[in-house]
Amino acid sequence: MSESTLVQLCNIYTDLTSEDIQILENVASTLQLHADLKNAYMFIDCKMNNSEHAIVVAEAFPRSSESVYENSVIGKIVFESFEPGVFYSYRTGKKSLTSQAVTQEGKSVEQCVIPIKNNIHQVIGVLISEEEIFKQLPFVVGHKNVSFGQEELNAILSSSSSEMPMISDLLMEIFLLTDKDNHLIYANPVGVNFISEMSKTEEIRNKNIMELLPFIKSIYDFKEDVYLFDLTVDRKHLIIKKIRMRDKERLRGTLLIIQDVTELRTKEKELMMKSVVIQEIHHRVKNNLQTVASLLRLQMRKGFPEESKVYFEDTLNRIYSISSVYELILSNTDADDDDVNIIELTKKVSSTMVLNEIHKKVSLIIQSNGNRILTTSRKAVSIALIINELVQNSLKHAFQEDSQGEIEVSFYSNKDFLELHIFDNGVGMSEPKSSLGLEIVHNLVRNDLNGEFRYLPVEQGTHAVITFPISSEVVIYYEKENTDS
C-alpha cells in the first residue's frame, strides 16, 4: 500500500517515529467529521526538523460553506509570526485560543489549537480549528476575542488633523504598501528613511518598489501570498513579512512589514561566542574532576591503611557525582542549554554505585512518576551529591554481604513542591547517626535547595525524603497527577 501524504511529509520534514506518525494518521482520519460538525477548517501541523517553522501535513474543509481557502495548503510552511498559537501549544503542551491569525492566503481567522501527544506525553503535532472572521462583527459586551472601534479608527486615520499620528508611524517596524502594479503608495516614517538610505534617492512616492529596492523582486516573484523571508542585504539582516491582499481573485496590493534585526543578530553572535566559552569551561571542569579522580585512584593503588579506603571511595563517588552533572550538560544538543535532567542524573549517579557494589545484589528502581524535571547546573550539583550520599548510605549499611535488596528513588510533585524519596528494604536503623555524609545532605538541602530533609518511619528498611520548593530554577514537564506523600 502506498504511503499517505501525511506519512511522506512527516518522513521528509520531521524526526517523528513511525509510532508517532501512526497517531497523527489516526487523528487525520477524523478531520473531515470535525470539519463538518464544527463548520470549521481543520489542520494538523508538525514542527520541522532543524527549523523553527512548522508544516501542514493534513487538512479538511467543511463541505457546507464557501471555503476560506482557495487551494490546498498541505505542505505549506507555517511561521510563528502569523500563527503564534501553533508554536505556543508546541512549547507548553497546552490548548491555545487565538482571536486572530493569518491564513496561508492572507485571510483573518479565529484559531483554536490543541496539542497532539504520544504515549510518553511529548507533543508530536497540533490539531488546528479555524473559523473565518467576518468583516462585520457585532460588538458584544464582555466578548474578548473581537476587535472594536473600526469606525472610530477610520475617522482618526482619515482626519486631516496632524495632531494624531497614524499607529504605524509610531512603530519601529518598516511598513510599506504597494498597489496592484507594485507602486509604493504608503511608507511609514521608518520606511521612508529605510528606502531613502537603500535607494539613495528622496523621490520614492508612487515609484515601482522593485526599482527602489531591487532585492525585493524575488519576494514579489515568490508565488505564496503570505510568507516570511530572512534576508541579508548590504550587511543588514532583515526579516520581511509579505501579505498579498486580494478581493476574490483580484490583487488589490501587497503589504510588507520589515524588521531590521542587524543589531539583534550581532548580539546573538556575541551570545553564541559566550556559550562556546561556557561549554569550554564545562569541558575543563569535567576534565579537571576526572584528573583529580585519577590521582586518587593512583594513590589507592600505591597503598594506604585499610581503614582509609572507605574515605577515598566516598570522595571518588562525590567527585563522580559532580562530574556527571557536567557530562549531561555537555551532552545537550543545544549549546546554550546548561539545564540538567534530574531523572537522568539520578540514573547515572545511582546506577554506577550499584554496579560497583559487586558483593551485594541490589536492584535499583527509579520512579519519575510521569515527570521530566530540569534544573540549573548549580542546583543539579547539589542534588547529585544528595543522591550520592543517601544511595551510598543504603548500599553500605542496609544490606549484608551477598544479600539481596532494593533501592528505590522516586520523584513526586505538586503545584509548589518537589519531593525526592530514597527508600531501601534493608535492615533499617533505629536512629540516624551523625556522619559527614548526612551533614553534607543537611547543608545542601537547607542552604542550596531551601528545603527540608527527614527520615520517615517504615516497618522495614529506611525512607529518606527531601522536599524543596519549585522555583524558576526547577521546571517540570509532562507532569501527571501525583499523590502527595
**What does the DSSP 8-state code read for residue 446?**
I
CA distance 317 to 313: 6
Fold topology of 270-477: Heat Shock Protein 90 (3.30.565)
In the prediction, which pLDDT does 22 show?
A: 93
pLDDT at 148: 46
pLDDT at position 163 over 60? no
Assess contact for 70 and 107: CB atoms under 8 A: no
Percentage of the residues of the chain whose pLDDT score is greater than 70? 82
Name the percent of the chain lying above pLDDT 90: 20
Tell me, what's the pLDDT at 45? 95
Domain extents for the chain? 5-132, 163-260, 270-477
Residue 149 pLDDT > 70? no
CA distance 430 to 457: 10
18-41 pLDDT per residue, tens: 999 999 999 999 999 888 888 888
pLDDT mean over 250-270: 84
Give pLDDT, residue 16.
94
- pLDDT value at residue 141: 41
Q: Using 50, 70 and 90 to split pLDDT, how confident is the model at 366?
A: confident
Q: What is the pTM of this model?
A: 0.45
- What's the average model confidence in pLDDT over 347-375? 82
User: In the prediction, which pLDDT does 154 show?
Assistant: 55
Q: Is the pLDDT of residue 417 over 90?
A: no
**What pLDDT, on the 0 to 100 scale, is given for residue 361?**
81
5-132: CATH homologous superfamily?
Answer: GAF domain (3.30.450.280)
**Local confidence band at 167 (pLDDT 50, 70, 90 cut-offs):** low
Residue 107 pLDDT = 65
Helix, strand, coil fractions of the chain, as percent rounded to 5:
40, 30, 35
pLDDT at 15: 92
Least confident of 250-254, 281-285, 461-465: 281-285
| Burial classification of residue 477, based on how many CB atoms lie within 10 Å of its CB (0-12 exposed, 13-18 middle, 19 or more buried) | middle
| Phi and psi at residue 357, to the nearest 5° | -85, 80
pLDDT interval class at 168 (50, 70, 90):
low
Instruction: Compare 164 and 333 and report the one with higher pLDDT.
Output: 333
Please give the pLDDT value at position 271: 72
pLDDT of residue 67: 61
The CA-atom distances, in angstroms, between 229 and each of 115, 237, 257, 258 are: 27, 11, 10, 9
**Residue 461 has which C-alpha cell?**
528498611
Same fold, 5-132 and 163-260: yes
Predicted confidence (pLDDT) per residue in 428-475, tens digit: 887 777 788 888 889 989 988 899 999 998 888 899 999 998 888 887
Bridge partners of residue 159, in order along the sequence: none
Range ranked top by mean pLDDT from 51-55, 108-112, 403-407: 51-55
Band (pLDDT 50/70/90 cuts) for residue 158 is low
Residues 6+ apart with CB under 8 A from 104: 56, 69, 73, 76, 78, 224, 225, 226
Q: What is the mean pLDDT of residues 370-394?
A: 86
pLDDT for residue 214: 92
Which residue's C-alpha cell is 544538543?
Answer: 333
Instruction: Select, from the ranges 26-30, 345-349, 413-417, the one with the highest average predicted confidence (pLDDT).
Output: 26-30
Cα(141)–Cα(317) distance, integer angstroms: 65
- Pairwise CA distance, residues 368 & 463, whole Å: 17
132 or 214, higher pLDDT: 214
Higher pLDDT, 109 or 353: 353
> Which pLDDT score is estimated for 135?
42
What would be the CATH architecture of the domain defined by 163-260?
A: 2-Layer Sandwich (3.30)
Does residue 398 have a pLDDT over 90?
no
Average pLDDT, integer, range 135-145:
42
For 76-133, the pLDDT digits (tens) are: 888 887 888 888 889 888 888 866 666 655 666 788 899 999 988 899 999 999 887 5
Q: Summarize pLDDT for 216-249 with one digit per residue, the tens.
A: 999 999 888 888 888 888 888 899 999 888 876 6
